[in-house]
Amino acid sequence: MVLAVTEAPSPEDYRGVWVYLEHDGEELLNVSLEIMGKARELSDTLRTELTGVLLGSGIGHLARISMEFGANKVLVVDSPILDHYSTYAHTKAMAELVRARKPEILLIGATHDGRDLAGRLAVRLKTGLTADVMRLEIDESGLLVAGVPGFGGGILAMVKCEASRPQMSTVRPGVFAPLEPDRSRMGTVETVEVDVSEQDVKREILERVVEERVDITRAEHLVVGGLGTGGDLTLIRNLAQLMGGEVGVTRPLADEGYVSRDHQIGTTGYSVRPKVLIVAGASGAMTFTSGIDDSEVIVAINTDREAPIFDHADYCVVDDLFKVLPPLIKEVRGSRE
């Protein structure tokens, strides 16, 4: 099918919720599945269709997975030109799709490529973009309202786009939970042709290197260190390893370079939802706790019994982390031997 673009529409002409489904060629990125879960809720509220959009080469197998995770419909643009992410080609393809199909809402993961695509796409479509959101909801008038951290994460500003369409947002990884996959979910898959060519690819990929990165948003067990560690994360790492989990930190430790940003939790980092979260030496500023409140069980260790972190914890230990963690590590190690 070839798309045809008509005259400029009004906001009332736009219908449906779209999710741009980012992938690595083999699997959908977890952030896309997370957004799909929230988008399913938004589309149900609006009583409209949820559509996943796949751009790439040889990606037909991902359409079925998209429906298992909530999509009513999947648009597939399959072209060798879109094999790897290309700023100009992907932006052109998405812009053509949006102009022709007119989605009311378009959600994109706040990844490196997702941010690049969303910003350029918003300019081409002359619409608003709410970036790095941590909350999404529909207001009483049916508009999308997006929560964005401001003032270094000290507040959550609620933003909406009243006039322009589509209403666009990039969503941080780890903020929402994906739906449980259900193979009985049925939907439709439509292959769409768009006008992209080799001329739309402005660079040549000579070598593709995939960097090994930690994804703390998927960890079931997390041990988090704050300023109280003084940057000494030895005990934090030992306990996390014994628990089969990952290490997390508050922003100051990432700022000082003790670990990479992949480990940072909070409004300027990642939101997590592990089964067990142990927080040692973190006071519990709102900029941090906003990223941990969906954890199943939170254990907090701090010498200050008035520390805000205890308001978010299920178990509170008022003591020095350097006294508490060694015997805890010994106990965990013993239980595994």
In order of their start, the domains of the chain are 11-200 (3.40.50.620), 216-336 (3.40.50.1220)
pLDDT of residue 82: 87
Q: What is the mean pLDDT of residues 252-274?
A: 88
Q: What is the mean pLDDT of residues 65-82?
A: 91
For 262, phi then psi, to 5°, come to: -60, -20
Q: What is the mean pLDDT of residues 77-86?
A: 87
- Tell whether the model's pLDDT for residue 102 goes beyond 80: yes
pLDDT of residue 217: 86
Q: What is the mean pLDDT of residues 240-267?
A: 90
- Tell whether the model's pLDDT for residue 105 goes beyond 90: yes
pLDDT of residue 210: 54
Beta-bridged to residue 188, according to DSSP, are 73
Q: Strand order of the sheet with strand 246-249?
A: 246-249, 221-225, 276-280, 297-302, 315-318
Which carries the bigger pLDDT value, residue 222 or residue 270?
222
CA distances from 99 to 5, 20, 75, 126 (A): 6, 15, 14, 11
Query: 16-46: per-residue pLDDT in tens?
Result: 999 999 998 888 998 999 999 999 999 999 9
* Half-sphere CA count of 337, side-chain side, radius 13 A: 6
**Torsional class of 285: left (φ above 0), alpha (ψ -120 to 50), beta (otherwise):** beta
pLDDT of residue 2: 47
pLDDT of residue 44: 94
Locate 117 and state its tokens. Answer: 């695509």
Instruction: Report residue 205's pLDDT band, with 50, 70 and 90 as the boundaries.
Output: low
Residue 316: CB atoms within 10 A of its CB come to 16
Q: What is the mean pLDDT of residues 127-143?
A: 91
pLDDT of residue 319: 93
- Tell whether the model's pLDDT for residue 6 goes beyond 50: no
Long-range contacts of 227-232 (CB under 8 A, 24+ apart): 227/252, 227/253, 227/281, 227/282, 227/283, 228/280, 228/281, 228/282, 228/283, 228/302, 228/303, 228/321, 229/253, 229/280, 229/281, 229/321, 231/256, 231/258
Query: 281-327: per-residue pLDDT in tens?
Result: 999 888 888 888 889 999 999 999 999 999 999 999 999 999 999 99
